[in-house]
Amino acid sequence: MKMNPFARVSHTVIDDVGRVKPGENVLILTDTEVSRTIPTSLAEAVHAARGIPSILVMAPPEYPGCPLPGPVEFAVQGAEVVIMATSKSVAHAEIFAREMKRRRLISMPGIMEGSFLDGGGTADLKVLKEITERVSRALEGKRRLEIKSDKGTDATVFSRGKAFSYYAQPPSPVGFAMFPDGESVVALQEKTLEGRIVMDVFQTGVGPLREPIVFEMKKGKAVRITGGIEAQRLRELLEKYGDDQSYFFGEFALGTNPKARFIGSAGEDKKRIGTIHMSLGDDIGIGGELKSKLHLDAVMGRPTLVADGQVLIKDGQLLV
């Protein structure tokens, strides 16, 4: 019998991250833009763990974090473990802020087959933890961040100093995890960001970037957003679904996953080692002060980062 090439990573998700126990109900939430192979393989891994899998296929979310349909919310409340294998992030939907205190949630935004075959999902979780914690130690306590890139980024901002490590830690006994994972995160002092930020790889809510999006920042706020059609789509998304807080960058993170690649995935591109991603909007969960309807990650491919005079990244090469 030919082995399912998705099986190894599916078992990592179910056994090592979800820690599914016999008899547990596991909801695999997906949508029509995600390859059917992914939820099917995850369900097979749940069955092998003697859990009870259910696959729920919904329409693609209108925007990241939008409210879920009533039947989906009902299904979430009937499961011990919820896996969000969706084309756009749903993790910031209001229901999950409540349910993470009652269940184990695993977010897989923008999940693609490549993450299972040779991408970020194939990373050794022990190695990923070691790298991520090492980067967080280097970032911990740093205040002044100077950011440049080959695409024209030239900005300074002050951090709140506390660094958080994310490496697909199993929620225990309940809580939240990402997969694929690998990032060291700080919350910014949001209103201190000054200069030009250029994102050139991926913009959540928009997709892979053919043309960079340029953010002109003053006192932390994006006062001008320019670029091509992707920049226009981002402006439209912010105007339609956002609020005033959606124009501030709050989260600042360094990718730490050595297996992650640029594949056009919201969940994988930002994990690639040596990248920086920053998020417009909500950052309450990491100690920030922005409460927003939106949380929109954007990825910078070849950054240079100097933190309190120490070079942590040089032209996309992590030096820690």
Domains and CATH numbers, the chain: 7-111 (3.40.50.2300), 124-318 (no CATH)
Which residue do the tokens 């890139």 mark? Answer: 149
What band does 285 get if pLDDT is binned at 50, 70 and 90?
A: confident
Question: Average pLDDT of the chain?
Answer: 96
- What residues form DSSP beta bridges with 299? 202, 277
**pLDDT over threshold 80, residue 1:** no
> Bridge partners of 28?
55, 83
pLDDT at 2: 58
Mean pLDDT to the nearest integer, 40-66: 96
Residues 6 or more apart in contact with residue 105 via CB below 8 angstroms: 81, 82, 84, 91, 96, 99, 171, 175, 176, 177
Q: How far apart are the C-alpha atoms of 172 and 177, rounded to whole Å?
A: 10
Cα–Cα distance, 126 to 17 (Å, whole number): 12
- Cα separation of 228 and 182, whole Å? 30
Count the Cβ atoms, other than its own, within 10 Å of residue 182: 32
Q: Which alpha helices (H) appear in 100-201, and where do they start and end?
A: 113-117, 125-139
How much is the average pLDDT of 167-195?
A: 96
| Three-class DSSP category at 217 | strand
Question: What pLDDT, on a 0 to 100 scale, did the predictor assign at position 312?
Answer: 98
